[in-house]
Amino acid sequence: MTSYQERYTASLMNTFGPPRLVLVRGEGAHVWDADGREYVDLLGGIAVNALGHAHPALVEAVTTQLQTLGHVSNFFTSTPQVELAEKLLELLGVGAGGGKVFLTNSGTEANEAAFKLTRRTGRTHVVVAEGSFHGRTMGALALTSKAAYRTPFEPLPGDVTFVPYGDADALAAAVSDETAAVLLEPIQGEAGVVVPPDGYLAAARAIADQHGALLWFDEVQTGMGRTGGWFAHLRTGVRPDVVTVAKGLGGGFPIGACIGVGDAGTLLEPGNHGTTFGGNPVACAAALAVIGTIESEGLLEHVTVLGQKLRDGLGADPRVTEVRGEGLLIGLDLSADVSAGAVSAAQEAGFIVNAPTPGRIRLAPPLVLTTDDAGAFLAAWPAILDEAFAEAEA
């Protein structure tokens, strides 16, 4: 494994730092490294591998489609592309005719498309939440609040105001009749799984309506069953104008979507935007297989039940000061800034988790995570924290 890590350092740009592991195969929620060691994957490619690794339905769909039709330009369409767009509108609750879909290759590209869509209102001002993450391309980066990401690339596309997440009064004060859109994550992922207060999304809808602005929900991390529903915002009954989705949509195959609801779906016209690979029939077939498997295997209910079990079990340790999230998007606050040590200790124990901040742990495992694997992690959790806290005190 060490030789591959050294070769990685020698041949790939240093945008991510040194890799923690060299992974060679996976099955379900398990992965194996180049030394043959097995791990339970509780990160799922950062909420991407909805069906885990090597799921037969996904393998079959991609293989069959690639043998049939691999790629066509956007002068043409394909049956998977049309069927996926229709399915996404159905899952969003608006149905065919209730919106329009633009298919992309990733979440940041979905957000780029949505950002351009907001400019078609004739306005340029966008209000975004602090703690947000919407992507790394220049447009999406302009909407991402973390200064460390933004500063090296400024000036970025402007007229963006950041307000505290969950604070409806601050949002109301920032939005004006010049605002094109209010952009929010229904649950903030990269910030450490931050859940807004009840009524916040409804307040955002009312504020946007008051000023004729679009309400845009970034569901790149929270969508596609991750929180126990198809989209996290659906439980609130709030209807957005724009929704962006990616990550779990393709179960590991690159795909994203910008969905315009109602009139918002007509804002982009021929020549306004484009993509070479977006809507690729193989990617669309992968997404349809993911959606179909979530439905046929009852994974929304499974995610809801198992997520509650994990949150209850992890929060029982007194060194965990807060547990947040819904379904299998879970954030933990620790009583000290030992999350990096906890990630290392978990890896040594055979579990892959994530530390979004020095004092927080994030879990976003495959939706097919088994009850036995969840139980094994809960059993190992106290010892993982023992090691992390002992290392910090040493």
Active site residues: 133, 218, 247
Contact 354, 363 (CB under 8 A): yes
List strands edge to edge, sheet with 214-218. Answer: 99-104, 256-261, 242-245, 214-218, 179-184, 125-129, 160-163
Question: Token pair of 357, please?
Answer: 């901040």
**Is there a cis peptide before residue 197, judged by omega within 30 degrees of 0?**
no
Question: Token pair of 253, please?
Answer: 């195959």
What's the DSSP call for residue 8? H
List strands edge to edge, sheet with 329-334. Answer: 320-326, 329-334, 360-363, 354-357
Collapsing DSSP to helix, strand or coil, 336 comes out as: coil
The helix (H) or strand (E) run that includes residue 324 is strand 320-326
DSSP letters along 169-190, please?
Answer: HHHHHH--TTEEEEEE-SSBTT
The helix (H) or strand (E) run that includes residue 5 is helix 2-11
Contact 132, 144 (CB under 8 A): yes
CA–CA separation, 207 and 175 (whole Å): 7
